[in-house]
Structure 1
């Protein structure tokens, strides 16, 4: 990791008997796009507001570049914030909203005008400077909120589900814009979302929380390809879970018994011989072949057409129902409900999970 700008150590937040945060340790690198991802109630927003200073920790510390800021009020921390609800001043124009943080910092009118114009151009809102917030769409208001948060050159930008109130297409467009803006400015972003695709597409690193604890953290592709637990495997994307017995070790993995089917699973550190283990198998890593081929026989029970992909539920006698995801363009097999098929996958398709 490059230079650390923020450090959270042993962070605890209790509400009565409920632990919103439970001994969280986290470092944030200078210039990083870090996403806090988790379901409702996982602690991600509590952690963000503790960094911002709006939530006081029950125990633990928050430090910035080595200086303890745990007791510092929000206005003294100098962080920019963008909320889901925009929080624009309704009686101020777009330009006045963006310039407000500079005005309270005592900047001159000339400085404010120049910086407002620069920030509005950054978010493609320069021509709307004289509009009132109520004259803007939701996406435009969020762009103004982003410009305001960046106007005073904050070292860290905190974003609390800023796109969740927008429709799907606009969210996708603004995801690209936010990522490009981060790359251009180099400001540290800490982003909260419950949307897995959003986290995967935008982040340098994802921290997955559940029950107030960090379950796993890492680069998006590392988390997706190598989840450690059932929760991570099924929250970040979808997974099938299979129970196997390790029959022996082979170069680069293990020979396993899967409900009577011998399979090999690639792993740098497989469980010991004789161990019962659980593995995750992503739906898109399962190949669909005609009936009678080598593999696991099954029958398509349900088909959901999703445009570029189809999601299938395939009933198998020994493994139960399996979720399969296949491209629809020039598919070798047209997946109709009731069709008998054969399922197979490569030895590196499965991932061993930690024992529960």
Structure 2
């Protein structure tokens, strides 16, 4: 395994009494697509700004391939940056915008021309080279911003919510393009977003932050399927949470109870404190059936149709409201408000939650 391109050690950023970053340790691998994910105020943009050199750390250290760059100004770090608001020069053509970082670095004119043409091709914008930014759509401007950030072959590309200003369909299209571009170039991407779908669909690894601290990190499917605590489970997708009494344990299998109904929960390595288990259960892991088909009975309160899926809110007299996600194509039960139903899940469907970090 190669050494990481970036190593961040105990990174702390204080604004008065507020810790925007609180002793963050993180490594970034060469060529990785790493996403910093979290709600507003979680510290993700502050961490990206610290890596870029725009927000000097109060404490801690940042190393680039083993070299301390903590105190280096942004222009010496040689990182590309793509902003949410594009930040294109309005009085320059597309071609001149892309050429600007190369001219600042005093590259030869022949090299500049070659790199500009290459970068226009990367983002499929060759036909727009002589237009002004105001003559292009938001998606086109973002492609040019990306081409400009890549023009000088940066060691790391930093992307601060670059797609958040675009409409849903265009965002989805550009997600595919960004991922494809990363795969073809092999440049290290560090991407900031609050959009869970973006993080899951594009990233090699996702780092979830809250209150300036890392809550959990890992590959997308591991994070989604095995969230560590309630914050991660609730922020990365939808989850139902249940505090249920434990009736027994045999090896990695726990027996929990809902009223008079007992059911197994596979919980390898889970630490159980006391006699109550806090469980997270994804809506798509719950089966919906006719009364008596599954282990618990309830009544549908509300249905939301979403095209390929529908969200069904079911009331149960012990658990309370439970959200169920069901495919609309050839569904077993056609849900409607007031309909009596049953529901259940497999023994490995629930995830045991850890206590929230202090």
2:269 — aligned with what? 269
Q: CA deviation at 1:275?
A: 2.9
Q: CA deviation at 1:272?
A: 4.3
Does 2:218 correspond to 1:218?
yes
CA distance in 1, matches of 2:69, 2:274: 51
Q: 5+ unaligned residues in a row in structure 1: which ranges? A: none
2:102 — aligned with what? 102
Query: Could you report, residue by residue, the CA deviation over 1:157-201 in whole angstroms, capped at 9, with x for unpaired residues?
Result: 000000000000000000000000000000000000000000000
Q: CA deviation at 1:247?
A: 2.4
CA contact (8 A) 2:239 2:282 kept: yes
CA distance in 1, matches of 2:3, 2:66: 11
The 3 A distance-change label for structure 1 pair 272 and 192 is: closer
1:31 — aligned with what? 31
CA contact (8 A) 1:253 1:270 kept: no
CA distance in 2, matches of 1:321, 1:214: 30
1:172 — aligned with what? 172
CA distance in 2, matches of 1:275, 1:355: 15
Q: CA deviation at 1:243?
A: 1.0
TM-score, normalised via structure 2 length: 0.97
Pairs within 5 Å for 1:66-105: 66-105=66-105
User: 2:5 is paired with a residue of what secondary structure?
Assistant: strand
The 3 A distance-change label for structure 1 pair 273 and 264 is: farther
CA distance in 2, matches of 1:150, 1:67: 23
Once structures 1 and 2 are overlaid, which stretch shifts more, 200-209 or 2-11? 2-11
CA distance in 1, matches of 2:188, 2:142: 19
Pairs within 5 Å for 1:175-186: 175-186=175-186
User: 1:54 is paired with a residue of what secondary structure?
Assistant: coil
User: 1:4 is paired with a residue of what secondary structure?
Assistant: coil
2:45 — aligned with what? 45
CA distance in 1, matches of 2:310, 2:73: 50
CA contact (8 A) 1:308 1:329 kept: yes
**In angstroms, what is the RMSD of aligned CA positions?**
1.1
Pairs within 5 Å for 1:200-279: 200-272=200-272, 275-279=275-279
CA distance in 1, matches of 2:4, 2:294: 52
Query: Could you report, residue by residue, the CA deviation over 1:2-28 in whole angstroms, capped at 9, with x for unpaired residues?
Result: 430001101111111111001100000
1:54 — aligned with what? 54
CA distance in 1, matches of 2:345, 2:51: 44
Query: Could you report, residue by residue, the CA deviation over 1:18-67 in whole angstroms, capped at 9, with x for unpaired residues?
Result: 11001100000000000000000000000000000000111111110011
CA distance in 1, matches of 2:76, 2:329: 55
2:346 — aligned with what? 346
TM-score, normalised via structure 1 length: 0.98
CA contact (8 A) 2:103 2:112 kept: yes
Q: CA deviation at 1:255?
A: 1.7
CA contact (8 A) 2:288 2:294 kept: no
CA distance in 2, matches of 1:58, 1:243: 40
CA contact (8 A) 2:308 2:327 kept: yes
2:327 — aligned with what? 327
CA contact (8 A) 1:271 1:277 kept: no
CA distance in 2, matches of 1:273, 1:26: 30
User: 2:183 is paired with a residue of what secondary structure?
Assistant: helix
Q: CA deviation at 1:269?
A: 1.3
CA distance in 1, matches of 2:178, 2:294: 46
Q: CA deviation at 1:274?
A: 5.5
CA distance in 2, matches of 1:260, 1:236: 32
CA distance in 1, matches of 2:36, 2:352: 24
In the TM superposition, structure 1's runs of 4+ consecutive aligned residues that sit over 6 Å from their partners are none
The number of aligned residues is: 356
CA contact (8 A) 2:312 2:325 kept: yes
Once structures 1 and 2 are overlaid, which stretch shifts more, 155-164 or 251-260? 251-260
Pairs within 5 Å for 1:117-132: 117-132=117-132
1:140 — aligned with what? 140
